[in-house]
A and B are shown apart, each in its own frame.
Chain A
Amino acid sequence: MVANRERIFLMAATIGLFVTFELSNSIFCNTLTARKMLFMNETLARPAPEVRSAPTARPLTGNEAIARGVWEAGTKVAAAYPGTPSTEIMENLGTYPSEDMHAQWSTNEKTSLDVAIGASFAGVRAFSSMKHVGLNVAADALMSFSYIGVNGGLVIAVCDDPGIHSSQNEQDTRMFARFAQVPILEPSDGQEALEYTRQAFDLSEEFDTPVVVRATTRLSHTRSAVNVGERQVVEPRGFIEQPSKNVMIPAHARMQHPKVLDRERKLIEAMNTSPLNRIDPGDRSVGIITSGITYTYVKECLPNATVLKLGVSYPLPETLIRDFCASVGRVIVVEELEPFIEEALLVMGLEVEGKAFFPRLGEFSPEVLREGFAKAGLMDAPKKTEGFDFAPMIRPPVLCSGCPHTSCFMALRALDMRVAGDIGCYTLAVVEPLKSMDTCVSMGSSIANAVGMAKAGTETKPIVATIGDSTFLHSGIPPLIDAVYNQANITVFLLDNHITAMTGGQDHPGTGKTLRGDETARVDYVELVKALGVEFVSVVDSYDMAALQHQLREAMEFKGVSVVISNRPCVLDPVKIKGPTFVVDQDNCTACQSCMNLGCPALTWSDNWFEGRHKVAIDPNACIGCSLCAQLCTSDSIRPLDLQEAANV
Chain B
Amino acid sequence: MSEVATPKNVLIVGVGGQGVIMVSKVLAQLCQNNGYEVKQSEVHGMAKRGGGVFSHVRFGPKVWSPTIPEGEADVLVALEWAEGLRWINYLKPGSGTFIADCQRIVPPFACRNRGRGAEATYAPQTPEEIIEQVHAGFAIDATTMATNLGNLRAANTVLLGALSTALDFPEEDWLESISMFVPPASIEINREAFFEGRAWAMESDKRVDETAAGLHKAHTDIHNVDIDTVVEITEEWCKGCDICVKMCPERCLRMNDQLIAELALPDLCTGCRMCEWLCPDFAIKITNTPVTPPALEPAE
A binds B: yes
Query: Is B230 at the interface (CB under 8 A from chain A)?
Result: no
Check if B67 sits within 8 Å of A218, measured CB to CB: yes
Query: Which of B46, B123, B125, B169 has the most chain A CB atoms inside 10 A of its CB?
Result: B46
0/1 per residue, B90-127, Cβ < 8 Å to A?
Answer: 00010000000000001111111010111111110100
Out of A33, A300, A634, which one reaches B278, CB within 8 Å?
A: A634
Residue total for A at the interface (Cβ-Cβ under 8 A): 100
The A/B interface has a contact count, at CB < 8 Å, of: 276
Query: Is B291 at the interface (CB under 8 A from chain A)?
Result: no
Query: Is A165 at the interface (CB under 8 A from chain B)?
Result: yes
Query: Which of A39, A395, A399 has the most chain B CB atoms inside 10 A of its CB?
Result: A395
Task: State which of B189-197, B198-206, B246-254 sits at the interface with chain A.
Answer: B246-254
Residues from chain B with a CB closer than 8 A to the CB of A433 are: 108, 112
Query: Is A518 at the interface (CB under 8 A from chain B)?
Result: no
Residues from chain A with a CB closer than 8 A to the CB of B62 are: 49-50
Out of A387, A390, A572, which one reaches B93, CB within 8 Å?
A: A387
Out of A28, A392, A591, A605, which one reaches B25, CB within 8 Å?
A: A28
Query: Is A512 at the interface (CB under 8 A from chain B)?
Result: no
Check if A400 sits within 8 Å of B114, measured CB to CB: no
Name the distance in Å between B128's Cβ and chain A's nearest Cβ: 14
Query: Is A244 at the interface (CB under 8 A from chain B)?
Result: no
Name the distance in Å between B254's Cβ and chain A's nearest Cβ: 8
0/1 per residue, A603-621, Cβ < 8 Å to B?
Answer: 1110001011110000001
Check if B89 sits within 8 Å of A221, measured CB to CB: no
Check if A44 sits within 8 Å of B8, measured CB to CB: yes
Closest to A41 in B: B168
Distance of A165 Cα from B53 Cα, bound (Å): 12
Check if A166 sits within 8 Å of B108, measured CB to CB: no
Residues from chain B with a CB closer than 8 A to the CB of A99 are: none
Distance of A536 Cα from B272 Cα, bound (Å): 39
Check if A604 sits within 8 Å of B82, measured CB to CB: no
Residues from chain B with a CB closer than 8 A to the CB of A303 are: 1-2, 4-5, 64
Name the distance in Å between B92's Cβ and chain A's nearest Cβ: 9
Query: Is B293 at the interface (CB under 8 A from chain A)?
Result: no
Name the distance in Å between A186's Cβ and chain B's nearest Cβ: 15
Given A224-B40, A612-B296: A596 and B108 interface contact (C-beta under 8 Å): yes
Query: Is B28 at the interface (CB under 8 A from chain A)?
Result: yes
Query: Is B181 at the interface (CB under 8 A from chain A)?
Result: yes
Distance of A44 Cα from B123 Cα, bound (Å): 36
Closest to B25 in A: A28
Distance of A184 Cα from B45 Cα, bound (Å): 25
Name the distance in Å between B257's Cβ and chain A's nearest Cβ: 12
Name the distance in Å between A44's Cβ and chain B's nearest Cβ: 6
Name the distance in Å between B296's Cβ and chain A's nearest Cβ: 5
Query: A222-B42, A370-B69, A597-B251 known; 15 other A-B pairs, CB under 8 Å?
Result: A166-B46, A224-B39, A224-B66, A301-B4, A365-B67, A390-B85, A392-B82, A392-B85, A392-B123, A393-B110, A398-B49, A398-B50, A592-B274, A609-B298, A613-B272
Could you show 24 A-B contacts with beta carbons less than 8 Å apart? A26-B25, A34-B33, A35-B33, A44-B8, A46-B61, A50-B61, A303-B2, A303-B5, A305-B1, A365-B67, A387-B89, A388-B85, A393-B107, A395-B50, A395-B52, A397-B46, A398-B109, A428-B49, A504-B48, A572-B48, A604-B111, A609-B222, A621-B152, A635-B277
Residues of B within 8 A of A (CB): 1-2, 4-6, 8, 15-16, 22, 25, 28-29, 32-52, 60-67, 69-71, 74, 82-83, 85-86, 88-89, 93, 106-112, 114, 116-123, 125, 130, 133, 152, 167-170, 173, 180-183, 222, 225, 227, 246-247, 249-251, 254, 270, 272-274, 277-278, 288, 294, 296-298
